[in-house]
Amino acid sequence: MKRLSRLRPRTLNKQIVSLSCFILAIILVVVGILQYFLMKDFLYQNEADAMQSQLHSLPPALLEPDDDMHQPFLFDRSLARIDTSGNYTDLSEENGLASPRLDLEELRRHINGREGKSAQYVVTEDEDGNEQLVVIVADRGFGELNGYLQAGTETAAINDVIKGQLQVFFILAIVALIAGILLYTRVIKKALDPLHRIIRKVERTSAENLSERMKEETEQIEIKRLTDAFNQMVERIDTSFKSEREAKEQMQQFIADASHELRTPLTSIHGFLEVLLRGAADKPEQLYPALESMLKESTRIKKLVEDLLLLTKLDQDEDIQLRELEVSSVIEEMKPHFNMLAGIRKVRFAADKHLIVAADKDKLKQVLLNLFYNAVQHTDSEHGEIDISLGKTDRSAEITIKDNGSGIPITHLPYVFDRFYRSDSSRTRKQGGAGLGLSISHSIVKAHHGSIEVDSEEGKGTVFRVLIPKKGTLK
């Protein structure tokens, strides 16, 4: 088996040529076999029809045993007369071609009439072992059956003709097979040229040139499908590489930002501890402010860690418990908290009633609180105005939080939902923010199958819109 496997062609071109030539050889062999049997039957039938015609045209006087006038007829045939009892009178024995002997039942089974149909014949051997083609007709006189006439001829000559024809056929078949190999090799090589070009293109493909796409101008459907499949595969790989690079960059940026955010309060705590160790611990006027500052910084660290853990859970697609919720009741419940955070800023509420969504109540509260706190941070403490409204679209409940604050520069708008991003870095850090509130809000809304949008004009204010699908619209 190993030797046979080594003999198998390794290239697709050779495999197709070999298979095509093998199929062609099988077809030629089948045609040769069919030709042999059809030609043999055709020649035998022609010879039988000729002998039948000659037997019907023989004058009765020529069938006498002592009459030499039937000799021309017997030039290459055997001739016998059989009575109704099955007794043979061989009229050709003197010519050296003996008539085969058939029993009476076989004679009657192969007898031919005068209807002009194709003659029935039988192939049998005579006493000398020569194979003969035998035809039998009835010998009638004045309407009565006098016996049977049997003529035969050797099949050797006919078989020689058949063998000669077969030899010519097989010689032509070999020539056709050789021509087929040469023709198939060129045609199949031409047909596989696009595939070879694709192979060369695949071999040249690497991480550095994934943006290149294959263009193959051909009418072959299979090659077109292969080209499309290759381009789609490269597109997916390119997208995966880009996503991986972006993920690595985001992770590196995340680690850098998180380290920076943690380093600031830790540095403060470390500094206060050094002060206390130098003797400030014995001085109440220095001790208590230092402890309060350390508590503030540790609270900031705790809040940062909690936000990071929440973002990690949201990134892992942990299930949020969605329940039927009437949104206006949530806003009504949070009014005292909003008013407390706003101080003397003007806060206006407008909410449509009976808007039911599928949401996690605590998570929705956190989104509203983050957005409202962001509005508070960026509006004037005395002249600031914040509007909270609840409306609806065809498929969603729409919560809008609008302020008249400083606004967000247009160059910063695409990044406001990125982690640790601040449009006003110094101000936000001073107010205790780490730049995670909007990112957390975006992740929570996304987990609710909703969306969050922002519009802002620098110096005039900012509008955040939260869209949560209404009950019955989730699929």
- Nearest CA to 408 out of 422, 428, 426 is that of 422
Sign of CA dihedral 191, 192, 198, 201: negative
Sorting pLDDT into bands at 50, 70 and 90, what band is 217?
Answer: low
pLDDT for res 296? 79
Coil, helix or strand at residue 20: helix
Q: Which residues pair with 389 in a beta bridge?
A: 350, 400
Q: What is the pLDDT of residue 353?
A: 84
The burial of 23, by beta-carbon neighbours within 10 Å (0-12 exposed, 13-18 middle, 19 or more buried), is given as exposed
Domains observed in the chain: 1-191 (3.30.450.20), 206-318 (1.10.287.130), 320-469 (3.30.565.10)
Q: Is the pLDDT of residue 197 over 90?
A: no
Question: So what's the pLDDT on residue 16?
Answer: 81
pLDDT in tens, 99-157: 888 888 888 888 876 655 778 889 888 888 889 999 988 887 766 778 888 888 888 88
Q: Which of 236, 300, 245 is nearest to 268 (CA)?
A: 300
Other CB atoms within 10 A of residue 30 CB: 10
pTM of this structure: 0.48
* Runs of H (alpha helix) within 378-436: 425-430
Residue 465 pLDDT greater than 90, yes or no: yes
Burial of 361 (0-12, 13-18, 19+ CB in 10 A): middle
366 close to 444: Cβ distance less than 8 angstroms: yes
Beta strands in 48-169 (DSSP E): 77-82, 88-90, 111-112, 122-125, 131-141, 144-154
d(CA 105, CA 332): 117
For the segment 427-431, the average pLDDT, to the nearest whole number, is 45
Which of 74-78, 83-87, 181-185 is predicted least confidently? 74-78
Residue 387 CB coordination number (10 Å): 17
Q: Which of 19-33, 148-162, 190-204, 454-468 has the lowest mean pLDDT?
A: 190-204
Per-residue tokens: 459: 């110096």
